[in-house]
Amino acid sequence: MRVAIVTETWPPEINGVALTVQSLARGLAGLGHDVELVRPFRDADADERDEFEQVLLPGAALPRYPGLRFGLPARGQLQRHWTARRPDALYIATEGPLGWSALAVARRLDLPACTGFHTRFDDFVNHYGLGLLTPVVFAYLRRFHNRAAATLVPTAELVEFLGSSGFRNVRLLRRAVDTHLFHPRHRDPALRAEWGLAPDDLAVVHVGRIAPEKNLGLAVRTFEAIRLEHPRARFVVVGDGPAREALAAQHPHVHFAGTRRGDDLARHYASGDLFLFPSLTETFGNVTLEALACGVPVVAFDYGAAREHVHDTLAGARVALGDEGAFVAAGVALARRIATAGADVARPRDAARSAVAMLSPAGVAEHFADLLLALGRRHAA
């Protein structure tokens, strides 16, 4: 099967969409399928070789997000290309102008196409002073995804929500995590010492884009409450984004580790004791799985990855959506439990790891391939 994947974000950009799409592409290739990647061109691409056949198209910088781009309309280029090299199925991961172009060409050339619902843009606009646009953005997303034969989402909760909100043909495609890369063996006493921690001190960690929609103010408030009981505790924030400078100025005691990748990222996860994830704007939250795989208990709101995978109370805490007081209380309680575990200190880490130990990337790739094959068969029928 020849699959064209259309995306407006791709590594080395660091975000959940880019990394998820890369994992799906690698999974399909590992199963022997031909994968073509359609995405915006970046200046760095002239010096890079990628593992996939690529169609690079014009793009533009995304406002307020340095380093991220969106694709410009490209119907003519895509129609000429897919007429000459016709794919068996399309997967369109992003809803920008390039995604619209791909959907339009798929209809014109009678190609089976499905989309991925990766980002709650309707929630994002609230955090940039544009709350009145929320219903408009949601209607835009619904219109976009309903032009495809199916929309793939990562949780049963989202299948139900979108289905009840007028989205048609919503299908579940669960997320995976690389449990070989993200593993407790990466815990590094030397890194913890760099953070100013003694062996028994508490490291509270957050990983993600530092931006208003990530609700990091709540993470800081939770850490401040934890620090009242554990004065030597340290809060480590891994990542970068438009709100980093202001957050660092307001909270000089927070350690900002910057962007990390690969084994270094796993080392930062695994060297923590507690992971705080206060975001309310995720469709899933891949970082939750990565933290759990590294054996780090998680405090998160009760939706997305946390609802799917945090069931053992030793592995973390799920808090009612939007209840910030309960989030702070859960963080303090879990920190207290971890700090006083004594000889049982391994139990929370083992519980966190076991919550995601069976989420195989190969299994998700097989399911993805089956969905695409079924889409092609239905389209042909």
**Can you list the domains of the chain with their CATH numbers?**
2-176+360-380 (3.40.50.2000), 184-354 (3.40.50.2000)
Q: Residue 379: its pLDDT value, please?
A: 80
Residue 140 identity: Y
CA angle 320/328/268 to nearest 5° reads 105
Q: How far apart are CA 25 and CA 31, in angstroms?
A: 10
The pTM of the full predicted model, rounded to 2 decimals, is 0.84
The full 3-state SS of 136-194, as one line of letters, equals HHHHHHHHHHHCCCEEEECCHHHHHHHHCCCCCCEEECCCCCCCCCCCHHHCCHHHHHH
pLDDT of residue 128: 57
Q: Is-contact 316 292, C-beta < 8 A?
A: yes
Average pLDDT by consecutive 10-residue portion of the chain (381 residues)? 94 86 94 95 65 88 67 93 96 94 96 90 58 78 95 92 94 92 96 94 95 92 96 96 92 94 96 96 90 96 92 88 96 92 73 86 92 88 76
Asked if residues 3 and 341 have their Cβ atoms less than 8 Å apart, the reply is no
Residue 344's pLDDT is what?
Answer: 66
Token pair, residue 329, equals 């209380």
